[in-house]
Structure formats: C-alpha cells, structure tokens
Amino acid sequence: MSTVGHLINGEIRNDADRLQDVYNPATGEVSKQVALASVATVEEAIAAAQAAFPAWRNTPVGKRAAVMFKFKALLEANADKICKLIGEEHGKISHDAAGELQRGIENVEYACGIAELLKGEHSRNVGPGIDSWSEFQALGVVAGITPFNFPAMVPLWMYPMAIACGNCFILKPSERDPSSALFVAELLQEAGLPPGVMSVVNGDKVAVDVLLEHQDIKAVSFVGSTPIAEYIYTTATANGKRCQALGGAKNHAIVMPDADMENAVNQLLGAAFGSSGERCMALSVAVAVGDEAADALIAKMSEGMKPLKVGPADDSSNDFGAVITKQHMDKVVGFIDSAEKDGAKVVVDGRGVKVAGYENGYFVGATLIDHVTANMESYQQEIFGPVLQVLRVDTMQEAMDLINAHEYGNGTCIFTRDGEAARYFSDNILVGMVGINVPLPVPVSYHSFGGWKRSLFGDLHAYGPDAARFYTKRKTITQRWPSSGVREGVSFSFPS
C-alpha cells in the first residue's frame, strides 16, 4: 500500500512515527496511508525554510513572479491528474473538482502580478532635503493549515501569495485527503522554486502545535471549523504570531415573495447540494418571506431534487458524491434525525441512500427540511452536508434579524427583483460576503475572502489584496543627506 509522505527541502520523505489510513469515500475502503509528522520532522522543515529565507527574500520580485507563471502552466497541464486525486480521497465529482482547481489557479494568476502589489509609497522633500518612503518586506517562515473540503484550492489561497511576497511556506494539509496538496507542491518545485522555500508536512495536532508554538514561524493562516479556528488564533497570537483563522458558517438565503422562483430554485439546488454541502459557502438555510413564497419554494425544490444523482467521483453524470468519512455521514444523518424529532418536516429524505456497486460508500442524498425554527439544534449548528433547511418568516426584517443574530457571518444572499430591498439588505446585513441573486458570493481572486463574527478570527481576509498585507510588514524609511559643510545645532523639539 502506498504512503503519502512529506516534502522537505525539495525532497519527498516517507518517514513517520505513525501512519493513518486514507479512505476512498465512495467505496469505504482504505486506498493508501499518510505519514503523520513527528515534532522532529516539522522542526526539520522549519529549519530548511529558515535557511532558504535570506536568499529567497532577496530574489528579485520579477524572478519570483516567473516561478508563479511556470507554476500556473504546470497546474493547467496536470489538471486531470489533480482532479482525479481530489475525487479519490474527497469524493468530489470530477466537474466540481475542476471548478475548485480553476479557482485555485486564478489565485496563482493573481500572484503573478506581485511586483505591482509590493510597490510602496514615496514622498520627496517631506522636509528640507528629506525623502520618505515605505516598503513591504517579507515576514520570514509562515505556515498554512488547510481543510479537507478543498484540498487543492484552499492551499492555493495561501502559499502562492506568501511565497511571491518573499516568504518561505510550510503547508499542513488535511490528513484525510493529502495527495493532491502534495502533488501540487511538487509541481511548484518543478516550476523552479528553490529547495526549502515550500515544504509540506502531513500530520495531526502534533504537527499543528509545533507550527503554532515554534518561534521561527511568523504567521499562520487557517481554514476549518470555528472551534479549531478559535484555538488556532488564540494559540498563535499568544505565541506572538500574526494569524488569520477562517471558521465555520451557516449561510442563509432570503427568498422574497417577488423572487424569480424558478431561478432561485435552480441556484439553491447547486448551492445547497454541490460538493455534498461540504463547503463553507454552501447555502444550508432558505428563509422564505411569507407562506406563499415558502410553499412555492418547497414545491419547486421537491420537484427539482428528483433527478439529482449522487455517486462516485469518476462518473461526471453525478451531481455530487460521498461525504468525507463514515463518522461525518453519521453526523449529517444525526442532524436530520434531530430536526425531525424537534418537529420539522423532512420533505425530501436523503437518509439511507445506497448507490449500486458502492454500497459501503459514505453517501447522503439531497435532503429538504421544512418548518425549521431558530431554536433547533440542526439550525444552530453547521451541518456541512447535502441538507437544505427552510425557515418561514413574515417579513424581510424578521429574516435579516435571524441572520444577524446567528453566531456565524460568512456568506448570505437574497433572491428578489426589488432593488430597494436588495440595497437595504446589503447595507444592513452583518455578514462578510453578500450575494444579490448570487447564491455563492465567493470573491474572485483579486478581491479578498472572509466572513464576520465567529466565521473569521483576525483582521485580514484570505487571498487577494489582503494577502499582500498579511504576508508582509511595512517598513517606512526617512532619509536625509546633509549638504557638504553644513553644520546644524542640537534641537530637543519633536521634529516637524
């Protein structure tokens, strides 16, 4: 059985004190094993990065960008292999994996323009013969800890910009689906990145805690659940590190009475059930304003869900695949059970679905639940599965109050034809990413991604312009060359 190892100082390493099984979610079978890094292994990666940093920091920015251009071309040339690795370990259907990878490539494309992003400001003659300017300098060795649900894209949110800014980077991907992240990192080496600048250490909490506590790690970026995000943020900052930690979500869509219901339903089908709902931007709650809108939504959603296909990743005719583990499958089913017990109505039931030839796979069918209320556990928690819950309210303000009261504030949207309502919604909703008739308002690569409230710990969002600031520190230089022969007296006043 093959083993997924580490990438340290430009070499693949398979050494490990411990091994963990990696499963194919569609079959429920072990497909390979992943090496879990020891403290010593992580420290070796950090030492290699620290040694590589001075030369990489001083590499001209144009040469750093040239590596990113080559990397982008290699990602495109190897897209099919990357998507296959994602499908085998995550369960994501090939067309969905291709979309994930494309969004990651767009972030590499943005990093290709790093020279423009690192230009500082310059002011001549701020005083007699005095010039002042700012520079954006690399931090040093930085780290990223990434989740299972986007094993290629989320790492590409982080290290292309971090490395282009002149840092060295250590990636700790999810141990549940590690192969695509490791293969993509190998492509970056092939693009000409010097050894040590990029390392991948596979592991669990042992590896994570080394990255959070080691004095040579200057910044940590994380994407995952809110409890872990909070732990990452508090531990990293307590150890003097810069940190951005993106957490969980409970994304609501308000469906107004005037909405184009056909369009809203089509958008909700993909946003709720795509990638088996294992997206931090998945729309898991529809808040219908008025019973007429709610009844129409339920009727059309029920009809639209009938042809949805769940199955293995390599069949592109499937709409979505298995969830990541048996434990997670049981958790999702448990939330459906809980909603039903609490008095909600399961309109379309995805529990107990079986796929021919894949009877041991971790499949949950598309599920629609009506008459959910805000006090139900299934509403309060992030389900992270192919489940859409419907809440009924009387007014748009009541719907907004529901959203604003929730602890998460990642993404939201409104379906309406009313420009005034849309403007009021976008101005007053307490959520970081807002869509108007757009169900998954994920920013493009030249904007930045991040939520509000307990969906984000830290001040700067992921990728885009914020990444250039997160992975650099500003230095302001004020310079004066006195004229020859001029001697000035001592002054004890504050300079002005």
From the number of C-beta atoms within 10 Å of its C-beta (0-12, 13-18, 19+), residue 290 rates as middle
Instruction: Report d(CA 389, CA 336) in Å as an integer.
Output: 10
Active-site residue (options: 83, 112, 280, 413): 280
H-helix or E-strand containing 8? Answer: strand 6-8
280 is an active site residue: yes
From the number of C-beta atoms within 10 Å of its C-beta (0-12, 13-18, 19+), residue 485 rates as exposed
Instruction: Report d(CA 244, CA 236) in Å as an integer.
Output: 9
Q: Give the single-character DSSP code of 276.
A: G
CA distances from 486 to 46, 483, 490, 495 (A): 50, 6, 13, 19
Burial 234-258 (b: 16+ CB within 10 A, else e): ebbbeeebbbbbbbbbbbbbbbbbe
H-helix or E-strand containing 323? Answer: none
Residues in the chain: 496
What are the residue numbers of the active site?
280
